[in-house]
């Protein structure tokens, strides 16, 4: 069902954990693990301590995730998680959480202004 996933330190994720992820999150778990495997998650941090994640989705579009408040800018999060309530997470937000645990997250440090500009640019693209 799942292929065994390797962590950066050479450890493997136990099959029972992979099965639990599949049970709780369904097909989103497989898609999220694929995003983690492709190193599609980037933590962007600023000197003030603000942190956001960007996830390069399978469609090639980049989504902004705020792990601190459980938010993703993708349409699936808005529809399936917020509107319908039939999912706990979208695959992008799950990929953020998994990449943190698996220590497989790209990191980028930017100035506070750059981070603000990045978030404002995301907001104007959504409108």
pLDDT in tens, 44-62: 999 999 999 999 998 899 9
Look at residue 26 and tell me whether its pLDDT is greater than 70: yes
Look at residue 37 and tell me whether its pLDDT is greater than 80: yes
Per-position b or e across 93-127, b if 16+ CB within 10 A of its CB:
bbbbbbbeebebbeeeebeeeebeebeeeeeeeee
Look at residue 3 and tell me whether its pLDDT is greater than 50: no
Strand pairing report for 71-72 and 62-66? antiparallel
Examine residue 58 and state whether it is found in any structural domain, yes or no. yes
Examine residue 9 and state whether it is found in any structural domain, yes or no. no
Examine residue 127 and state whether it is found in any structural domain, yes or no. no
Examine residue 104 and state whether it is found in any structural domain, yes or no. yes
Split into its structural domains, the chain has a count of 1
Examine residue 6 and state whether it is found in any structural domain, yes or no. no
Look at residue 1 in the predicted model and tell me its pLDDT. 37
Examine residue 49 and state whether it is found in any structural domain, yes or no. yes
Model confidence pTM above 0.85: no
Examine residue 33 and state whether it is found in any structural domain, yes or no. yes
Lowest mean per-residue pLDDT among 24-38, 74-88, 98-112: 74-88
Domain that holds residue 90: 15-121
Look at residue 125 in the predicted model and tell me its pLDDT. 66
Examine residue 3 and state whether it is found in any structural domain, yes or no. no
């Amino acid at each position: 069902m799942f292929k065994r996933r390797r962590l950066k330190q050479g450890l493997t994720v136990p099959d029972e954990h992979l099965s639990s992820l599949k049970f709780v999150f369904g097909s989103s778990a497989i898609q999220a693990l694929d995003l983690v495997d492709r190193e599609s998650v980037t933590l962007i941090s600023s000197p003030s301590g603000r942190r956001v994640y960007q996830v390069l989705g399978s469609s090639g579009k980049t989504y902004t995730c705020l792990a601190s408040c459980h938010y993703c800018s993708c349409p699936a999060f808005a529809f399936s998680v917020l509107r319908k309530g039939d999912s706990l997470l979208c695959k992008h937000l799950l990929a953020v959480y998994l990449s943190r645990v698996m220590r497989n997250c790209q990191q980028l440090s930017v100035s506070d202004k750059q981070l603000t500009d990045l978030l404002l640019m995301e907001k104007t693209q959504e409108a």
